[in-house]
Amino acid sequence: MEMRQLEYFVAVAEEGGFTRAACRVHISQSGVSAQLRRLERELGAELIDRSGRTATLTAAGRAAIEPARAALAGAAGVREAVDAINGMLRGELALGMVTGCEIAPLFDGIAQFGAAHPGVAMQLVEGSADQLAADVRSGALDAALLGTAERELPGLESATIVSEELAVAVAPGHPLLECDPLTLADVVAHPVICLPTGTGIRTVLDLACGARGLAAAVALQASAPGAVADLAARGLGVAVLTASMLAGRDGLRVRPIADTGERALLALVWRPDPGPAVSELIERCRAAFGAARQPG
């Protein structure tokens, strides 16, 4: 009995046919069929009923399918354990990041991981903080960099990368530049431009307003911080982001909000007990963010 025979058996059972199974395992249909026949001869029983339009499991096949899956999972676990020791990680990783991500240290961490482990294929997915967190919990993503108002997210491990209070940016000559100190009530008296609901910064803004009995009149919203800043530079409203997001934006004056208290967090999140590849990626990204904060 060979592992590839079990792989082909499971593929036929899950795909419901030899053609789709062959596409899945990247060999010819005849190759799948021949190997499965050999497995059946060795076991002394047919595993697949081939009489209908769809391949289905026989009674013997139903008895064998879970042990076959367990054997394949066990073999994958052996390879993963040995690869972790050898530093030869393989497989695929799906990493989520905030929409409109402009965060260079994240890309540095990914690049360093990719250079060290070329056998791991990387997939990057953008989304809102709420969706990214849900996808990590479900396993659709292995890890994510997201904005949040909470230091602890249910069901997830996390590492806070950045913690900042909200700031505003306005075009030169805007009335808010005369406010000293600048309060949240001053800000929401004007049209606000911000990130969409479901992002960490928007959540912090909504929480801060709710705690003070205020309501922000959101005139415009955009998924990318750069777009929020550009709209404010054109005099269309007050951009609410953080100071680091607003740094170096031409045509804007940036001011802190004196009384917000709540902080916007940028955090790496992952499920408890991550595999070697996820652990390595997290460490690479954390190191890259740490290096970016060093002076020099």
Tell me the one-letter amino acid at 123: Q
pLDDT-derived band of residue 87, with 50, 70 and 90 as boundaries? low
The confidence score (pLDDT) of residue 272 equals 92
Listed in sequence order, the residues at least 6 apart from 160 whose beta carbon sits closer than 8 Å to its beta carbon are 151, 265, 266, 267
| Rounded distance between C-alpha atoms, residue 111 and residue 37, angstroms | 45
| Rounded distance between C-alpha atoms, residue 278 and residue 89, angstroms | 10
> Residue 150 burial by CB count (10 A; 0-12/13-18/19+): exposed, middle or buried?
middle
In the chain, CATH 3.40.190.10 covers 91-160+266-293
- Which CATH architecture is the domain 162-264 placed in? 3-Layer(aba) Sandwich (3.40)
- Which CATH architecture is the domain 3-86 placed in? Orthogonal Bundle (1.10)
Check pLDDT > 80 for residue 101: no
Classify domain 91-160+266-293 at the CATH topology level. D-Maltodextrin-Binding Protein; domain 2 (3.40.190)
* Two structure tokens written together for 104: 């260079």
In the chain, CATH 1.10.10.10 covers 3-86
pTM passes above 0.75: no
pLDDT digits over 158-202, tens only? 888 888 888 999 999 999 999 989 999 999 999 999 988 878 888
Specify which residues 125 forms β-bridges with: 96
Q: Quick one: DSSP state of residue 169?
A: E
